[in-house]
Structure 1
Amino acid sequence: MICSTLLAVEAAEKNGLFDLDATLPIIAVQFLLLVAVLNSLFYEPVTRVIDSRNDYIRTTQAEAQERLDKAMALTRQYEAEIGQARLQAQQVIAEAEAAAARIRSEKLAAAQAEIQAKLEAARRQIEQEKQTALEQLQQQVDAIAAQITEKLLGSAR
């Protein structure tokens, strides 16, 4: 290589910068050898590394997108399930409230009926006791009247 460089310098001094003598093919061969060596030692490995890195990035992005799509689908599914669970919970609550209202009204009606029955029984008992008291009072009045009559008739005799 040093020789070819020296030849190129000598040729440049003699005939100018571009001289079409035997050095031009040597320089062309050197250039082609340099391109071949650089291609095999530098460009191909770098290109392989860049290509493999690009493939890795594309693969990773595709996997990430798939995972994101799957996560979004699961999120939509879970949100739908949560919505259904809320509706079911609201239905259960409404049914429980309706059942509680029905039971409350039934118990209230039963309590009112029981109170009415006890009130009626108390009225009958009071009426019966009143009749008994009036009968006893009538008997006592009759007895006292008989005693008074007997005393009046007995003292008049």
Structure 2
Amino acid sequence: MTHWTILLAVETAEAAAKEGGLFDFDATLPLMAIQFLLLIVVLNAVFYKPLGKAIDERAQYIRSNILQAKERLEKSDKLAKQYEQELGETRRKAQATIAAAQADAQKIAASKMAEAQQEAQVQREQAAQEIESQKQAAMQTLEQEVDALSRQILEKLLGPELVK
């Protein structure tokens, strides 16, 4: 059977060689060229132009998204810097407020301490005056008692008529 297939192929090749070989330059060549050009025109109109248009639209969409993303990134960077500046300023104000409050607290504490010291001094002075007055009173009482005792002693020693 393989013989027969080879024989058939050889006969077909001989028939083709008699007709003009591999390329015939008769009316079929221009017809094939026209068919090829029509195929190119149809493929271009049906396939390549819509595909190219879709690719161009997609590229434009990507470019616009990239530009929008860059703009948003720049805007977010600006906002982040602004917020950082505001945060730093707020921190500085808070620290200044805290420092002022601490200074006020120290002033108040110092004034309270001074008032307490003055009050303690006044109380010490009052206590010293009281002690002095009690001392004076005790001394007077003691002097009176000493006078009375010394009179009694003198009266007993000398007699009541001589003491006056």
Bucket of the pairwise TM-score, normalised by the shorter protein: 0.7 to 0.9
Query: Does structure 2 conserve the Cα–Cα contact (< 8 Å) formed by 1:11 and 1:19?
Result: no
Count of residues in correspondence between the two structures: 148
Give the C-alpha shift of residue 155 in structure 1: 7.6
Report the identity percentage: 50
Give the C-alpha shift of residue 134 in structure 1: 0.5
From 88, 91, 101, the equivalent of 2:93 is 88
In the alignment, what sits opposite 1:133?
A: 138
- Residues 1-157 of structure 1 aligned to structure 2 (within 5 Å): 14-154=19-159
Could you report, residue by residue, the CA deviation over 1:23-58 in whole angstroms, capped at 9, with x for unpaired residues? 222122111100000001100111111111111111
Mapped to 2, the partners of 1:12 and 1:133 lie a distance apart of 164
Letter of the 2:125 partner, please give it.
Answer: E
Mapped to 1, the partners of 2:127 and 2:161 lie a distance apart of 49
Q: Gaps spanning 5+ residues in structure 1: where?
A: 1-9
Query: TM-score w.r.t. structure 1 length?
Result: 0.85
RMSD, aligned CA: 2.1
Mapped to 1, the partners of 2:75 and 2:69 lie a distance apart of 10
Hey, which bits of structure 1, 4+ residues long, moved more than 4 A? Answer: 10-13
Query: TM-score w.r.t. structure 2 length?
Result: 0.81
Asked which structure has the greater RCO (Cα within 8 Å, sep 6+), the reply is 1
